Structure 1
Amino acid sequence: MASLIRKLEQFVRLSPTDHAILSRATSERVRHFGARVDIVREGEKPRDIHLILSGWACRYKQFEDGRRQVVSFFLPGDICDMNVFILREMDHSIGTITPVSVVDLSREFFDHVAAGHPRIVTAFWWETLVNAAIQREWTMSLGQRTALERIAHLLCEIWLRLRLAGLTRGESCDFPLTQADLADATGLSKVHVNRTLQELRAAGLIVLNGKTLAVPDLDRLMRAGLFNPNYLHMEHEGRQLDAETIEAAAG
């Protein structure tokens, strides 16, 4: 819950009542999933909106022959498919990467929020718009960035999203993505991803140790990935960022 509120307050300053409503909603209807399983599959009828409480997940599309495209990663505090209620069936799948705890948010919860809590509604709209901006940036990466730029850009984005949610430790953060995950997200082969990660390591831009990522110099990594953080809209009036984060994001 803390990650969700911290993220929403990048956009809007929420009241104590807003905090209480979100806290209550995110303490009910919690489900737990293991790693590498589907939370919801393409073709199923959507019933609830999923909030990631803990763990990492992804949105993906897959062909019958097994080829898969990851189109977004979900981190703690992320809401999957804010407007999914209007769909008759899912046109994509949401799968876990690590063990994940999920809250199922009902249509009634959103109706209640819409009726009397405009600041939460505004924060949710900002969340939706930022997700759309992230999707545009991923399209730009697939169409125009080189392999090294794609990987560097994705690492910058994940790092900043985790940092904004309070989930980094100094230069380090958890990083459970495999090279296959990175390949599926960037349109590269696993061999090409491996080679690119080696280049980033050799240049001193990243340190990967098991499932931990360290970014010794975020500014250099941002330049390598042609990364402009403007699409994350971290400068909005409601943001709750420390000075170090703002300075690093600004480059």
Structure 2
Amino acid sequence: MIAGSHFPNTLMIRKLETIFTFADEEKQALLNLPIQVITLKADQDIVRVGDRPSQCCLILEGFSCVYKLTSEGKRQIMALYVPGDIPDLQSLHLKAMDISIAPISPCTVGFIQHDDVRHLCERYPRIAAAFWRETLVDGSIFREWLLNVGRREAYTRMAHLLCELLIRLKAVGLVEGGIFDLPITQAELADAIGTSSVHMNRVLQALRADGLVQTKGKQVIVPDWEKLKEAGDFDPFYLHLEEAGVV
């Protein structure tokens, strides 16, 4: 997927343009933003609770997650991040992290120094507004996840999560014909929707049996988008995308 020296920047711009419109000068400034690209293994923490990072991370390939642990070590995945996302923009203004972020598949990320982002935002206030909007959308997704885990049955929760991922991946060009990669284990999906691994297996079997999804290795195939939306009680409004809901 990664090609060309400006790929990290163009992916970042493509994602931000799903929620914001830039002038040519602003796009060029984003293209010139220095980004250091590295590859991480699955479950290799990017940041941990209590860290004081001096950089933000941009997801370029693979999936990452935000998670927290109970005192007993039980994990709750609180958000999933896909290529184009910047999961720790809040670290620009919060001195210490209150969440941990880790790849859940082998992941390529781009690190952007806080000082570079601050200078960019000082020079281009509308870029600062775009980053602010990105964090607000992040908060909207957190609220929807709270509703999903707290008030929906596991079957509906999982259908809703699949709908969300399909829409978000489509926004950055990573869905073709209702097919997308989902490099996540059943245990990780269980941690994301707040159920056990055993029940997660039953939920996926039920979704397949009802013809809502098909799986082939790490690929997910959605044969009927409208049926999956109905099963997941899904309305893409909370994603605040310029063009959402059309697959």
Q: Which moved more, 1:101-110 or 1:197-206?
A: 101-110
1:147 alignment partner AA: A
1:188 alignment partner AA: T
| Counterpart in the other structure of 1:168 | 175
Describe how 1:191-230 pairs up with structure 2 within 5 A. 191-230=198-237
| Counterpart in the other structure of 1:89 | 96
| Counterpart in the other structure of 2:5 | none
Tell me, what secondary structure is at the counterpart of 1:38? coil
TM-score of the two chains, using structure 2 as the length reference: 0.90
Shift in Å, 1:170: 1.5
Shift in Å, 1:68: 0.5
Rate the CA distance shift 1:158–1:145 in 2: closer, same or farther, 3 A.
Answer: same
| Counterpart in the other structure of 2:190 | 183
Q: In 1, Cα distance between the equivalents of 2:121 and 2:16? A: 16
Asked whether 1:28 is paired with 2:38, we answer: no
Describe how 1:231-246 pairs up with structure 2 within 5 A. 231-234=238-241, 239=242, 241=243, 246=245
| Counterpart in the other structure of 1:77 | 84
1:13–1:119: 8 Å Cα contact kept in structure 2? no
Q: In 2, Cα distance between the equivalents of 1:217 and 1:125? A: 35
User: What is the percent sequence identity of the aligned residues?
Assistant: 43
Asked whether 1:41 is paired with 2:41, we answer: no
Unpaired segments of 5 or more residues in structure 2? 1-7
1:33–1:100: 8 Å Cα contact kept in structure 2? yes
| Counterpart in the other structure of 1:106 | 113
Tell me, what secondary structure is at the counterpart of 2:230? helix
Q: Which moved more, 1:222-231 or 1:33-42?
A: 33-42
Shift in Å, 1:59: 0.7
Tell me, what secondary structure is at the counterpart of 2:46? strand
Rate the CA distance shift 1:7–1:88 in 2: closer, same or farther, 3 A.
Answer: closer
1:183–1:193: 8 Å Cα contact kept in structure 2? yes
After superposition, the CA RMSD in angstroms is: 1.7
Q: In 2, Cα distance between the equivalents of 1:126 and 1:35? A: 29
Tell me, what secondary structure is at the counterpart of 1:40? coil
Rate the CA distance shift 1:189–1:222 in 2: closer, same or farther, 3 A.
Answer: same
Q: Which moved more, 1:214-223 or 1:85-94?
A: 85-94
1:171–1:215: 8 Å Cα contact kept in structure 2? yes
Asked whether 1:141 is paired with 2:152, we answer: no
| Counterpart in the other structure of 1:59 | 66
| Counterpart in the other structure of 1:18 | 26
2:16 alignment partner, one of 4, 8, 26: 8
TM-score of the two chains, using structure 1 as the length reference: 0.89
* Aligned length, in residue pairs: 239
Q: Which has the higher contact order (CA 8 A, sep 6+)?
A: 1
CA shift digits 1:52-109 (9 cap, x unpaired): 1222111111235431010011111101221213333322211111221222222222
| Counterpart in the other structure of 2:166 | 159
